[in-house]
Amino acid sequence: MVAALVTGASSGLGAEFAAQLAARGADVVLVARTRSALETVAADLTQRYGVRCEVLVADLAKPKDLVKVAERVGSRDEPIEVLVNNAGYGLPLAFDENDVEVEARHLRVQDEAPLRLMHAALGAMLERGHGRIVNVASIAAFMPRSTYGAVKAWIVQFSRWANVVYTPRGVTVTAVCPGFVHTNFHERLGLPPGEEGIAEWMWLDASSVVAEALRDAARGRSVSIPSLRYKALARLLPLLPDRITAHLGMRGR
């Protein structure tokens, strides 16, 4: 049976990715920092879809935990067919006011962890001649938005390159760039619902974002931008002056 590993799987887009993959019949390995939350997700997926759910508690900012997850991703005995690098979070945009160690941790989770997990996954997937990697980025990758936009831009650019290089060998790599999605992401930033300053038409539903992302990944696309409105924004933003896009990027989460 196909197995998928999802990081940041305890809530939000990660839990939705796990649910939709389980609905397709995949066993899932759920990775996040909180065991109780993971066990709740696992029990729900097992009950609803009858799949096997493995809980792997790990903080991807900690080297030992990251090695543990990389070893699971690269297992030849229990192969992972689909890797979803979803774990991530945001920081206040005032880089100069943020603790530099907090910024460095953010960089490790957003870029170093996906890099190491992709490397581990590719070793096993290329041997088998098939596999799929989905990297959750953001529409922020297309605009200057402090370090958050920068780390997401790295994910997009590396995914585009990797998809070209590894698709002929049976492994696709897709960067998913959602806009504002109704999840608990804003709560983790300390923003109460309704106080993000974002128009309602810009919000997306998590289930539709994940469904489109998985369709695009199945088609072998390098970049998936869920919804027509965000596809249009991704084309428009690089054409605007930095002072305008940086100002727009100050809004919301």
The model's pLDDT over 148-178, given as tens digits with 9 standing for 90+, comes to 999 999 999 999 999 999 999 999 999 999 9
What local confidence, expressed as pLDDT, does residue 251 receive? 58
Q: At 195, is the pLDDT very low, low, confident or very high (cuts 50, 70, 90)?
A: very low
What is the pLDDT at residue 112?
98
Q: What are phi and psi of 153, to 5 degrees?
A: -65, -40
Would the pLDDT of 192 be above 60?
no
Separation in Å, CA 167 to CA 50, 115, 158, 178, 200: 31, 17, 14, 23, 37
- Which pLDDT band, with edges at 50, 70 and 90, does 72 fall under? very high
Contact 237, 214 (CB under 8 A): no
If you search the block for the tokens 């960067």, which residue do you land on?
Answer: 175
Which of the residues 49, 148, 166, 230 is marked catalytic?
A: 148
Distance, in Å, from the CA atom of 202 to the CA atom of 199, rounded to the nearest integer, reads 6
- In terms of CATH architecture, what is 3-249? 3-Layer(aba) Sandwich (3.40)
| Tens-digit pLDDT profile for residues 16-68 | 999 999 999 999 999 999 999 999 999 999 999 999 999 999 999 999 999 99
Place of tokens 């609803």: 48
Q: What is the pTM of this model?
A: 0.91
Average pLDDT, the chain: 92
Neighbouring C-beta atoms of residue 66, cutoff 10 Å: 20
CA distance linking residue 246 with residue 142, whole number of Å: 11
152: Cβ–Cβ under 8 A, 6 or more apart, which residues? Answer: 110, 137, 138, 140, 141, 177
Q: How far apart are CA 252 and CA 203, in angstroms?
A: 11
**By percentage, how much of the chain surpasses pLDDT 70?**
90
Q: Could you give the CA distance from residue 66 to residue 6 in angstroms, rounded to a whole number?
A: 13
* CA pair distance 219, 174, nearest whole angstrom: 10
Catalytic, 230? Answer no
Q: 75-92 pLDDT, tens per residue?
A: 999 999 999 999 999 999
Q: Which residues contact 247 (CB under 8 A, 6 or more apart)?
A: none
- 233-253 tens-digit pLDDT: 899 888 878 777 676 666 544
What gap in Å lies between CA 156 and CA 29, rounded to an integer? 24
Q: Are 9 and 32 in contact (CB under 8 A)?
A: yes
